[in-house]
Amino acid sequence: MSGTKQTKRIPQLEGLRFIMCCIIILSHFEFLSNSKIVGGGYTKYFHNATMAVDYFFMLSGFGIYLSPKRPEKSYKSKIEFAKNKIKKIYPAYIVSLVVMLPCTYIELRPYGSTINAGLKSLTLLAADASLFQSVTGMTFFSHSLNGVCWFLSCIFVCYTVMAFVIKKIDNIRSKQEAEVCFLISIIIVLLLSFVASKLEQMNLDCGKINDLWYGHPAIRWWYLLIGAILGTLYKKTDIELGTLTEVEITAVACVYFVLRNTLLEIMNQNFLRFFDLLLCSMVLFGFSKGTGFISQALSNNRMLWLSRTTMYLYLFHYPVRALVDNFFVKINAISTLGEVGFIFECFLIIVFTSFVVCLYMNICNLKSCFVASEGGQ
């Protein structure tokens, strides 16, 4: 197949987006660590979103390569290409930042005057609104306000870089060339990871440069490139994977997910990243060729609808979790309710997040209908 042939979205990969989003949300339920019943198990086995985050970056690169929409040669068109990738979610992104603005102000208030806290909060809002906060390599900026918004900042920068190189990937002519490029890219990620971790250790005392290894575009861009290379392999490989292979891939992924934190105790995080990349590549490529029962389940209409809520769930769950958790701390709910309090807190976060997402999506749909009706008059 040619590198420019139009390819429709692969539904099972879209369904997997929702599963990965749920894993990320689960990893942010840190309050469960205080539970006497599930705290130890949660911390050791489920407080881990690495594979899910990797999947989102790699799927983005995979999708860009297979998409018929490519940026033109001009610099302006390449910037527009990146903007178009996030313009639909950007209003929700801003809403999530504004919601968290009072919380950030309250956190900063004890460390300075009212005016200073207000100015710092507004400065962080402006930095986040620009979508370049992840470039700083500093958690104070990259994870400010709504902490999970580092991802949208990082992916926007990565989209911009990909706009300049995506056509170069079309020069990969054979499956063997794609495999070599895949391995070289993984090696480069590992080398960059070692450099990033060393730089973070050097700055540990002053606490400034502390977000290079995990959330900086200089490393994460390579995940999009690896995803795009997997896209070339997808086009150049004519196979179908049935239910048995899908079950094997799922089993390996689940076992690795549960054991990853244990492996981190005995293995350097940079070496572990090698296995993260291989496993996520296996899941992405494997299910892109899947035709079995699991792929069919991931491709049904309900899963595809849920996949469309993914980024809204991602953006809004964190503010809801922060607000509910702060409320529970203030009223000392866990001490009063005991272990039931943890269940109740999880329930409230899930319910309120779902409500906010559905409300926002309905408002957007109503606005779209209104604009459409106005245009038709």
Q: For all residues of the chain together, what is the average pLDDT?
A: 89
What pLDDT score does 371 carry? 41
SS3 content of the chain, % helix, strand, coil (to 5): 80, 0, 20
Q: In 3-state terms, what secondary structure has residue 242?
A: coil
Q: Which residues contact 21 (CB under 8 A, 6 or more apart)?
A: 52, 310, 313, 314
What's the pTM value of the predicted model, to 2 decimals? Answer: 0.91
First-to-last C-alpha distance (Å) of the chain: 45
Residue 96 vs residue 8, higher pLDDT: 96
**Which residues are CB-contacts of 289 (< 8 A; sequence separation ≥ 6)?**
234, 237, 239, 240, 241
User: Which range is least confidently modeled, 33-47, 189-203, 220-234, 300-314?
Assistant: 189-203
Output the pLDDT for position 6.
46
Spatial contact of 91 and 315, defined as CB atoms under 8 Å apart: no
User: Where in the chain are the domains?
Assistant: 11-371
Q: What angle do CA 146, 150, 151 make, to 5 degrees?
A: 115
Rg (CA), the chain: 21
- Give the tens place of pLDDT for each residue, 162-221: 999 988 998 999 999 999 999 999 999 999 999 888 887 776 555 577 888 899 999 999
**Is the pLDDT score of 317 beyond 60?**
yes
pLDDT at 374 exceeding the cut of 90: no
Contact (Cβ atoms closer than 8 angstroms) between residue 124 and residue 97: no
Per-residue model confidence as pLDDT tens digits over 91-138: 999 999 999 998 888 888 777 778 888 898 999 999 999 999 999 988
- Which of 17-21, 30-34, 86-90, 109-113 is predicted least confidently? 109-113
116 against 301, higher pLDDT: 301
- The pLDDT value recorded for residue 204 is 59
Q: Among residues of the chain, what percentage have pLDDT more than 90? A: 64
Q: Residue 76's pLDDT band (boundaries 50, 70, 90)?
A: confident
Closest CA to 238 of 325, 175, 160, 311: 175
User: What is the per-residue pLDDT for 8?
Assistant: 66
288's tokens: 């892109």
Residue 354: pLDDT over 60: yes
Is a pLDDT exceeding 50 seen at residue 373? Answer: no
CA 89 to CA 69: how far, in whole Å?
19
Integer Cα distance of 31 and 326 in angstroms: 11
What pLDDT is attached to residue 177?
Answer: 94
